[in-house]
Amino acid sequence: MKKFFSIFGTILLLLVALVLIFNQPIKEYAVKQIAHKNYTSLTVEKVKANQKKKGEFNFKKVKPISAGQVAKAAVNNDAAVIGKMAVPSVNLKLPIVVGLSDNALSTGGGTMKEDEKMGKQNYALAGHYMTNKGALFSPLENAKIGDLAYITDMKRVYTYKIFYKKIVPPTAVYLLDDVEGQSLLTLITCADGGTNRWALQGSLVSNKPANEQTLAVFS
């Protein structure tokens, strides 16, 4: 019986991958469904459990999102979701996931540094770009200076005001550095077909308890 389910799972994975390879809109739809499922099902208890999990933080292993990657995440998603993020001005709502593994980046925004804490120092997240109005971090291309970005661990809600948006080379890793006396949110995604990166930064303007009112922005 176990062998049957293993074979069935492999066949299902291959079928999903084939569909995604030949249809970009279907691939984007699948990614949105993966993100939505993890986003809407998140609880304080899940966050607490997932915060104990280890992530992959090797930038060199990050590859463009592939059909196989999406298919694997759709069939067996074990990404460690530790929060939610929202940029209402561009209709971006995603789970926050530990690390930069293929599975993590097929699910939402991945933490870029080990042991970073929400609301502390420079909290950096990376996400894939698919199309201008597509899934994952794609909408950030349309964000503007002054827009608000929110993150939560389901216990606190942190609000940041975007003050920096620029296309930078992949070597601009200094943007991930902590800045003394500042609490920042840094968001990174691809630009120019993957040659460069969109980099956005916001400064912390509010830190409030998570309740029905403050969590409404994530609904």
3-state SS, 106-153, equals CCCEEECCCCCCCCCCEEEEECCECCCCCCECHHHHHCCCCCEEEEEC
- Give the C-alpha separation, 113 to 170, whole Å: 16
Question: Mapping DSSP to helix (H, G, I), strand (E, B) and coil, where does residue 176 land?
Answer: helix
CA-based torsion, 123, 115, 95, 72: positive or negative: positive
- Give the C-alpha separation, 164 to 27, whole Å: 31
> Which residue, 107, 124, 73, 201, is CA-closest to 97?
107
- Give the C-alpha separation, 215 to 162, whole Å: 20
- Which residues, 6 or more positions from 139, have their beta carbon under 8 angstroms from its beta carbon? 87, 90, 91, 92, 133
Which position among 136, 140, 190, 204 bears the catalytic label? 190
Which position among 84, 93, 113, 128 bears the catalytic label? 128
- Beta strands 92-97 and 109-111 are parallel
- Give the C-alpha separation, 134 to 124, whole Å: 21
Q: Is residue 190 annotated as a catalytic residue, yes or no?
A: yes
Q: Which residues are catalytic?
A: 128, 190
